[in-house]
Structure 1
């Protein structure tokens, strides 16, 4: 095994170290794990478990499971290319399933908040919101239930020996990619956009905003930030999947393969951004966190935008 340090754009199939991927995945593993474990501790000790907290608890759990797959990626990008192929495939499957679980849970949080603020007096809406645990169970069953059959059916076709640098057949086959793009990203993105617009519209028309009790600009910044994090995290990966579907798998150029690895890394970075979003959008979470300790761990912005209590605790 070579111990030479390569250019970040070189793949690890030659045994080179990819400094950029090692650094970013190490950052995600350390801070993502700490932040999400803090979040889980707070959520599980929260006496008032609202529907949003149920979704956030499941989201933090999904993020932790995703993070637990990253040490093997760090090991691989340090130049150790002796991982068994089955382990690469299983860890990739777990990562992808949890990534889409995160997408669906983030969408559910946005939809739940929108419904809570837009239809606060509707008994039917309130009854539907109480089904949050069942919705979360359905998301777990959907993500893993849909991923495992695809993995098993395509496993025998996988010929690549490049572990995490290789392109899985079940992520480049058009029959699989098309529904993944539509159901796994397209529909959630549309729901996020519509709900963000509806939430901003409801806040603008609320009595609290019109009487000056609530800062509309700060709430809009919170909505835009949540939407921005979602798009920033998951759009690059799905754009790469679209490009893959347009070319022959055997003739994909090396730069596009490198772009796939980096887009997956960006998607994983969402596990660090989610807890930050919890802090800025949830009163209970913000009051429970000793930010002085966090500042000492890593320099973050000291500004925390004000938000409307009904939206936060919905």
Structure 2
């Protein structure tokens, strides 16, 4: 995960020589962060990883195995896979936060540095697809009915993943490792402030500004159309709105401090360091919020989850009765109950 903390940057400032690449790092380390903040951020990241892995696994299982494959479930499965992959990589970064030592090698350094931004791009692009899909469904219902297919949705998701991977390439290129005595660092070596500025602005414009403007436009059209229609249920649109709002609030602090970081001479380095760490943790939190929203807001998801869990419990109870030596008729009745419930899942 490329946190882009100031202490990880390895570029020369405008008034520095090319050989003095550690000046900024030295200045930052001279005013170390309170350990309390580090402990809090470590604890929060551990919670994000555990809850995110469990929650997104549940979403993938429910939407992929228990619900009918539709365009909407295709979007949400892809979003859950993106969040799951990030949460699976996060423990490596938590270890680095605790020890300040990277023993996992260059390949994993590059991989973890790219995970956050791959998640950022794929998440926001999926939110754009969801917003456009909902907007087209309301604005052009006949056309959507004839052309909106799971196969086309899968193709759009595949293109989204390819575009996200392409935009994540700078993280793979500039992330490096170096050894200081017994300690190995995993850092971002832009080798020039112009490259640093180009990468940051590209991430902000392509990964936040343009997608968010598209989402706002689609949401405005959708809101206008819904006000003129009598909808049987607005639950799907509440889920979409909640996903968009959480993405916005999770990522705005990160992008704000990253943009401020471009002008180090005018900013407080300690404030920037603290802001980037907190902002990155908030951005990571976006990966476990989606499953919570599905459970508490999504009606279809809640009903399917409840039916699936009920089926599992009935199956376990039936197994207990069968292995407990009860008579054949009692076991047979439990099998009938189980067979009646199973089709509901």
Output the TM-score relative to the length of structure 1.
0.74
Query: Is 1:64 the counterpart of 2:84 in the alignment?
Result: yes
Structure 2: gaps spanning 5 or more residues: 1-31, 310-345
**How far has the Cα of 1:248 moved from its partner?**
6.0
Q: Which residue of 1 aligns with 2:337?
A: none
Which structure's CA Rg is the greater one?
A: 2
CA contact under 8 A between 1:193 and 1:227: conserved in structure 2? no
TM superposition outliers: structure 1 runs of 4+ over 4 Å: 127-130, 155-164, 218-224
Query: Is 1:43 the counterpart of 2:63 in the alignment?
Result: yes
**How far has the Cα of 1:47 moved from its partner?**
4.8
Which of 206, 223, 227 is 1:183 aligned to? 206
Q: Deviations over 1:148-187 (max 9, x none)?
A: 2x245434699998857x5663997112222221111111
**How far has the Cα of 1:129 moved from its partner?**
7.5
After superposition, residues 1-314 of structure 1 pair within 5 angstroms as: 10=33, 18-79=38-99, 81-83=101-103, 86=106, 87-122=108-143, 126-127=147-148, 131-148=152-169, 150-155=170-175, 163=185, 169=190, 173-206=196-229, 208-209=230-231, 213=232, 222=239, 224-247=241-264, 253-280=269-296, 282-290=298-306
Structure 1: gaps spanning 5 or more residues: 1-8, 294-314
Measure, in 2, the Cα distance between the counterparts of 1:248 and 1:89: 29
Aligned length: 273
**How far has the Cα of 1:32 moved from its partner?**
1.0
CA contact under 8 A between 2:138 and 2:225: conserved in structure 1? yes
Deviates more, 1:52-61 or 1:75-84: 75-84
Q: Which residue of 2 aligns with 1:303?
A: none
Root-mean-square deviation (CA, aligned residues, Å) is: 3.6
Measure, in 1, the Cα distance between the counterparts of 2:302 and 2:130: 17
Q: Deviations over 1:97-147 (max 9, x none)?
A: 122211211221122122112221125983487521111111111112232
**How far has the Cα of 1:59 moved from its partner?**
0.8
Q: Deviations over 1:216-240 (max 9, x none)?
A: 7x78765543332121111111112
